Chains A and B, each alone.
Chain A
Amino acid sequence: MASSSDSSTPRGEPWVWFTGLGLIIGLGMVIGLLSLVILNGVTVFWAPQVPVAQVDDGRTIIGQLAQRRIRAGSTAENPRYERQYQVGLRELNGNSYLWVDETKIKAEVFPDDVLGLERVEHGPAFVRPQSLRKSDGKVVPITDPAFESALQAEVAAAAAVREKFEEITRHRIGDVNHEMDEARVALRRAEDLKLADEIAVRRRQIDGLEERFVVLKAEAQKIVNGGAVAVLDSKDAAGREVAIPLTQIVRTWFPNRLDTWGRTQLFASRLGEFIFDEPREANTEGGLMPAIFGTLVMTVFMSLLVTPFGVITAIYLREYAQNGPILRVVRISVNNLAGVPSIVFGVFGLGFFVYVLGGSIDQLFFSDQLKYNNNTPVFGTGGLLWCSLTLALMTLPVVIVATEEALAAVPRGMREASLATGASKWQTIRDILLPASAPGILTGVILAMARGAGEVAPLMLVGVVKLAPTLPFDGNAPFLHLDRKFMHLGFHVYDLGFQSPDSDAARPMVFATTLLLIVLIICLNLGAITIRNRLRARFKGASF
């Protein structure tokens, strides 16, 4: 007796510790990852103080501290650090970022006239402003107490002009271009088929469009030329004169003057731009609206595709299929499908969905488009629909397995009660089994969504791009353009991290984008979990 209890302690305490250790290690890794992403992602938008630093070699640097690291070659006991400053003014300095040996920095001061600029082109800048040439010709020197408010007003005015310009060039001219493309295809078709009336109509339409285009272009030009442009005259760290037209400036701030409230406002405004604006500067600046939107639409669409497919398959497997070796093989295959690397699904999606399915759709429904538009495919190229379908296929096993389990977990009594009242099998499934297993099915959908939203590799093959000029959703019928290529947060992270020409500028954005992707997935999941809990509450208290 005693010996047997020696070999396995009666209460199995070591195992409690052992399993607990597993949990702690797992939790630790997850928390570590999350805090790394959150810390780095959130601080991107926080504006720190910006020093003016004197370096031994005579240089002066104005820049925001980006990183600090131990120099290669220095010993661990006696570490020497180097700092990376974001100095901006890429067109003058050649590079936005600069590494400096910490021991070489003689002095660091924080004068409150340092001005940070976010610009439409060439990245940010840190300068010491001298004076502002306002659009009405007056000059406001930095010493004037009204300088800051005058600058704000001019920046806002310039932004309004820029917005108007963009509205015309991007949206209204974009619409004209869209119509023009369609008209040209129609004209080519008419010419080919020798439809005299149609040719005349189309010619007239194209002429009309061309007129509109000229008018719009003139309007845009007028905005550019109209009214004098305010200019900010400043000096850079080396004392060189820098004149920046305010139409180039997105945002200004005095990093060494701001109090905490000011910094918070700046933070909020930058975060808002990040979420609601479109990207600039090879995606390293601006916002992520198209990517957020693309990810959302794609994930939701994928869920809408995978749920009915998965549920129907599971119903057949669990309720109708004859138990036997074939069913077992099918089950094993379905489970194995979940283990297939996602890139394989991408290749399949490209080969089957895009080329075969999409190609056939084009042949059948868009043959005119193909023939008269230089063989430009519509559905025969990557797009939102094919991405959603590919991911739906990839996440299908998750939904099937979850649904099968949910169906199996419905108490036998309920099923029998339904059948005993004379309900047919299908009625029992529809009225009793499906409602009762809805929470379990939704759990599967949640898992599928989580997996699908974070997937990148297959999407690169079937329709996600670095920069999509148009959203998959707009005002032109049919509003949701399933054939369009789109941007995706996961791919954006990859693109920023590994494909960006300016890796230093991209680094903070990688974290911010990752954070956004995580938050988005959490939001999607929370939404689904809320629905599931609502459903569960309806079955609460079931005592079977």
Chain B
Amino acid sequence: MPEIMNPPSSSRIKVRPATEREGRKDYITIKDYGFWYGQKKALDAISLDIPERQVVAFIGPSGCGKSTLLRNLNRMNDLVDGISHEGDITINGRSIYDPGLEVISLRRRVGMVFQKSNPFPKSVFENVVYALRVVGVRDRAVLEEACETSLRKAALWDEVKDRLDDSALGLSGGQMQRLCIARAIANRPEILLMDEPCSALDPIATGKIEELIHELKEQFTIVIVTHSMQQAARVSDRTAFFYLGKQIEYDTTEKIFMNPSQAQTEAYISGRFG
């Protein structure tokens, strides 16, 4: 197989062996989805299904609409003026645009980690338990328990357990990003969206976060946007390639990296454009 394909860079890319990737029920369904910023169409005819407890990577050149699609999954783009959409996105069978569904409760089920770490100017503890405070949890024991579990899951507990009351702004960049992950999972969302979570981190911190994604996959459905082909290959089960707002190819990661059906995909993965 490698001889047939032989894309110039594929030797660098290692794809994890396929283990029980198929056979799960689809969880997020995006159907004929289009999206406009004012007059500008940013997404066009997107259709993809994301199975439960899998990691899906969105790849594609800059400006192709990865973040836009990701931010629509928890309706973060509602903050932008003059947006409109067509088609539909359902999570667990229910449309996210269902008028009966409150955006707030949607966001409580769909956590998000941003490209730039954005801790609040509060203590580490308060950062982690913010999502719980928001829903009115007051019980100190519950908060402490949630704080520890989330920080442990985010592989940050050992580093910060003695400085929970210090400002979160004193952490290192990698620690801050893991703190943001801990904050995003503290209220146990079902889905975790990550927009280039490692772009500002060094390889060691990146490695930690990638390990983390493996572990979180046991509980969460994860959608990750990344510019690193290696990262997409390492962490994801399925990969979607976008170009100019269109979905070019969506398949298992193995297939996308080893045997893409579209020439554009192959060209992008092998680094010939993008």
Judge if B204 is at the interface, Cβ distance under 8 Å.
Answer: no
A420 partner, pick from B105, B111, B167, beta carbons under 8 A: B111
A539 in contact with B169 (CB, 8 Å): yes
A413 in contact with B118 (CB, 8 Å): yes
A541 partner, pick from B111, B120, B135, B167, beta carbons under 8 A: B167
B167 in contact with A421 (CB, 8 Å): no
Q: Which residues of A contact B119 (CB under 8 A)?
A: 417
Judge if B143 is at the interface, Cβ distance under 8 Å.
Answer: no
Least distance between B146 CB and chain A CB atoms (Å): 13
Report if A544-B107 is in contact (Cβ < 8 Å); known contacts: A419-B76, A421-B134.
no
Q: Which residues of B contact A420 (CB under 8 A)?
A: 74, 76, 107, 111-112, 114, 184
B130 in contact with A418 (CB, 8 Å): yes
A422 in contact with B116 (CB, 8 Å): no
- By beta carbon, the residue of chain B nearest A539 is B121
The 6 A-B pairs at the shortest CB distance, nearest first, are namely A413-B118, A422-B108, A421-B131, A420-B112, A422-B107, A423-B134
A432 partner, pick from B104, B120, B135, B167, beta carbons under 8 A: B120
Least distance between A411 CB and chain B CB atoms (Å): 7
Q: For the side of the interface on A, what is the size category?
A: 20 to 34
B183 in contact with A421 (CB, 8 Å): yes
A417 in contact with B183 (CB, 8 Å): yes
Judge if A47 is at the interface, Cβ distance under 8 Å.
Answer: no
A414 in contact with B120 (CB, 8 Å): yes
Q: Which residues of A contact B186 (CB under 8 A)?
A: 421
In angstroms, Cα B170 to Cα A108, docked, is 72
Report if A424-B104 is in contact (Cβ < 8 Å); known contacts: A413-B114, A418-B130.
yes
Chain A positions near chain B (C-beta within 8 angstroms): 323, 411, 413-424, 427, 431-432, 435-436, 538-544
B169 partner, pick from A413, A416, A417, A540, beta carbons under 8 A: A540
A-B residue pairs in contact (CB < 8 Å), sample of 24: A323-B81, A411-B118, A413-B114, A417-B119, A419-B79, A420-B74, A420-B184, A421-B130, A421-B134, A421-B184, A423-B104, A423-B131, A423-B134, A427-B134, A431-B134, A432-B120, A436-B121, A538-B167, A539-B169, A540-B169, A541-B167, A541-B170, A542-B121, A544-B116
B120 in contact with A422 (CB, 8 Å): no
Judge if B55 is at the interface, Cβ distance under 8 Å.
Answer: no
Judge if B247 is at the interface, Cβ distance under 8 Å.
Answer: no
In angstroms, Cα B111 to Cα A418, docked, is 11
Report if A435-B121 is in contact (Cβ < 8 Å); known contacts: A413-B114, A424-B104.
yes
- Sample of 12 more A-B contacts, CB < 8 Å, known A414-B120, A539-B169, A542-B121: A413-B114, A415-B79, A416-B112, A418-B130, A420-B74, A420-B111, A424-B134, A431-B130, A431-B133, A539-B121, A541-B167, A541-B169
Least distance between B109 CB and chain A CB atoms (Å): 8
Report if A543-B81 is in contact (Cβ < 8 Å); known contacts: A422-B108, A435-B121.
no
Q: Which residues of B contact A423 (CB under 8 A)?
A: 104, 130-131, 134
In angstroms, Cα B81 to Cα A419, docked, is 16
Report if A413-B187 is in contact (Cβ < 8 Å); known contacts: A422-B105, A541-B169.
no
B114 partner, pick from A416, A424, A541, A543, beta carbons under 8 A: A416
In angstroms, Cα B179 to Cα A203, docked, is 76
Report if A422-B187 is in contact (Cβ < 8 Å); known contacts: A539-B169, A541-B167, A542-B121.
yes
Q: Which residues of B contact A422 (CB under 8 A)?
A: 104-105, 107-108, 131, 134-135, 187
Q: Which residues of A contact B134 (CB under 8 A)?
A: 421-424, 427, 431
Least distance between B120 CB and chain A CB atoms (Å): 6
Give B63-107 interface residues, CB cut-off 8 Å to A.
Answer: 74, 76, 79, 81, 104-105, 107
